[in-house]
Amino acid sequence: MPATLTLKCLPDRLYERLEAVAARNGRSTSEEAVACLDAALPVARLAPGEVLSRARRIRAELKVSRFRAADLENFKRQGCA
C-alpha cells in the first residue's frame, strides 16, 4: 500500500510551479510531486563486486565466445565499435 506524505510550509510560488508543471504533464499535483521526487532521489547503487558478479552470470548465460584483440581492432576499423 502506498504511503502518504504531507508537506508543510510549502512556499506558494513553489506550489504554483508544481501546479503548472502538473497541468503541462496531465497529472494531479500529487502525481507530479511523486514524479519529481522519483526523478530527484537516486536509486540505491550496487556494490562494484555485485555488478561484476551479475555481469559474469549474464555473460555465462549468453554462452558467447570472447573476441580476440585482433577481432576488436578489425571491428573498430569497420566502424562497428
Q: What is the pLDDT of residues 28-79, one digit of tens each?
A: 999 999 999 999 998 888 899 999 999 999 888 887 777 888 888 888 899 8
Neighbours of 8 (CB within 10 A): 4
Lowest mean pLDDT among 2-6, 18-22, 47-51, 67-71: 67-71
Q: Determine the pLDDT at residue 66.
A: 76
Q: Determine the pLDDT at residue 81.
A: 55
Does residue 24 register a pLDDT over 90?
yes
* Owner of C-alpha cell 510549502: 10
Q: Determine the pLDDT at residue 37.
A: 95
pTM (predicted TM-score): 0.54
Q: Determine the pLDDT at residue 68.
A: 84
| DSSP annotation of 72 | H
Q: Which of 76, 56, 79, 51 is nearest to 66 (CA)?
A: 56
